[in-house]
Amino acid sequence: MTETTPRSGFGTKTIHGAAWRYFTFLGGKLIVFATTVILARLLTKDDFGLVAYAVTTITFLDVIGDLGIGSSVIYHPDDEKTSATAFWLGLLFGIFLFGVAWFMAPLVGAYFRDPRVVPIARAFGLSFPITALGSTHAAVIRKKLAFGRTVIPDLLMAMSKGLISIILALLGYGAWSLVWGQVGGLLVSSIALWFVTPWRPSLHFDLGISRSLVRYGSKLVGVELISVLLLNIDYLLIGRYLGSESLGVYTLAFRLPDLLILQFARILGSVIFPVFTHMRDIPGNLARGFSQAIRYVSLVTIPLGLGLMLVARPLTLTIFSAKWEEAIPVIQAIALYTMFLSLVYNAGDAYKADGRPQVITWLSVVQLGLLTPLLWWATTQIGSIVMVGWVQALVALLSVIINLAVASRLLGLPFLKIVDALRPAALSGLIMAVVVYAALYLSVSLAAWLQLVISIGAGGIVYGAAMWVFNRRVVLDIVELMRSALGRG
């Protein structure tokens, strides 16, 4: 098989799948964004912080919520007995985790020194059995690369979550509006997955198959536990040492960069992992696939990261109001943090597809070792959520360098080829950043919303022009891939 064939196959499958996933992402996240804007004006910083206490803790249980069974279903050969066993195993464990969440809730309240979080943590525990009802159906969809079927469940979840939260907030339920919105959205999503997926679980349960599923999935659980600790240690430290209001501001500041940048990498990853599992037996394919993935991701996340860092002030004042002005410097730092993380986010998909998820664990341990003492210093000694944000950005930059070096070695991909994959977005993004900064400086006397419109417009035009002038081949390649991929649908 020639090199052209695998590259074309990877590109068309990934773009075709990503088109559906990004359509869902765009629709769902627009709903989430609108909901966040409304709730930011209806709720207090303390409300956001209180819910963040519970969400941060439940997230650790959520990692082991399906024992890695969803990814294990994708990895193993397609078989009805495997899928049925995965469903019942996941449901039983989801019920078990609800019990764990119920009994550990008082410990959560004690850690954060706020007893109000106890009933909220217990309510969030309902998410485990509810999610388990649809998680195997979602895995079956991803395994078959039928990403179009996820549109309805994902959009319905976003819509129902937002609608429930806003109605309850208007009725004065405060933090509980966020809680029941989340639980209700998950329930609607699981029900919708049953409607869009023809597969139904039989009553079959095989102990041998369950051991095989858990054996592979447990490797991923170890990876995810470290990953979740990395993504939440800042919340744990801010919540304990700086209080609910500081955590509320930090949580809101994190939402925009996560929504615009890191979520894009996650969406592409949900497409790339099953594609990688289909192409792992062809020598050199994972290396070429990773090179293409990092190129496509960077073309989106580098301009978004740099742009969001620069327009954080007019964006915050326009969207969230002056009440959240103290979130501005945090948004600037977290924009760079999410941009750096996005560049190596999909390396793990190659390791998982190759049956070596433990590589991600070791890399995460190194990053955690760098991050933990610096975050402790920022929260306990400096006492600043802004410093927390910049610590995150610095460690993420160091992590990018380490991760790309490891990926180069393990995937047999020359480091200069990785640099070459990043060059188009980096060069065009830097040119765009200069223009956006100039636009902000020249329009500083204007209203925040007008300053925002001018700077975003100027940045978008310049980025597109720079890509066309300096990286025309990349633009034409992407257009061709999109035509081929969308044509397949």
* pLDDT of 344: 83
* Rama region for 68: left / alpha / beta (φ>0; ψ in -120 to 50; rest): left
What is the chain's length?
A: 489
* pLDDT of 406: 85
**Average pLDDT by consecutive 10-residue portion of the chain (489 residues)?**
42 50 62 83 89 82 65 66 81 89 92 92 92 82 65 84 93 92 92 86 78 68 72 91 93 87 71 55 66 83 95 94 93 96 78 68 85 96 96 94 85 85 92 96 94 95 91 73 52
Q: Whole-model pTM above 0.85?
A: no
146-158 burial string, b = 16+ CB within 10 Å, else e?
A: ebbbbbebbbbbb
Residue 413 φ then ψ, to 5°: -115, 115
- Between CA 322 and CA 466 the distance in angstroms is 34
- Between CA 368 and CA 236 the distance in angstroms is 14
- Between CA 139 and CA 20 the distance in angstroms is 16
Coil, strand, or helix at residue 81?
helix
In terms of Cβ atoms closer than 10 Å to its own Cβ (0-12, 13-18, 19+), residue 261 is buried
Q: CB within 8 A of 215, min separation 6: which ones?
A: none
Give pLDDT tens digits for 70-88: 666 666 666 777 778 888 8
CA distances from 350 to 29, 346, 409 (A): 26, 7, 13
* Under 8 Å between Cβ of 10 and 275: yes
| Residue 145 CB coordination number (10 Å) | 16
CA distances from 359 to 274, 342, 349, 363 (A): 18, 18, 11, 6
Q: Using the 8-state DSSP alphabet, how is residue 412 labeled?
A: T
Token pair, residue 201, equals 């679980």
Give pLDDT tens digits for 107-120: 999 999 999 999 99
Angle between helices 285-319 and 328-344 (to 10 degrees): 170
Question: How far from each other are the two terminal CA atoms of the chain, in whole angstroms?
Answer: 24
- Between CA 139 and CA 157 the distance in angstroms is 17
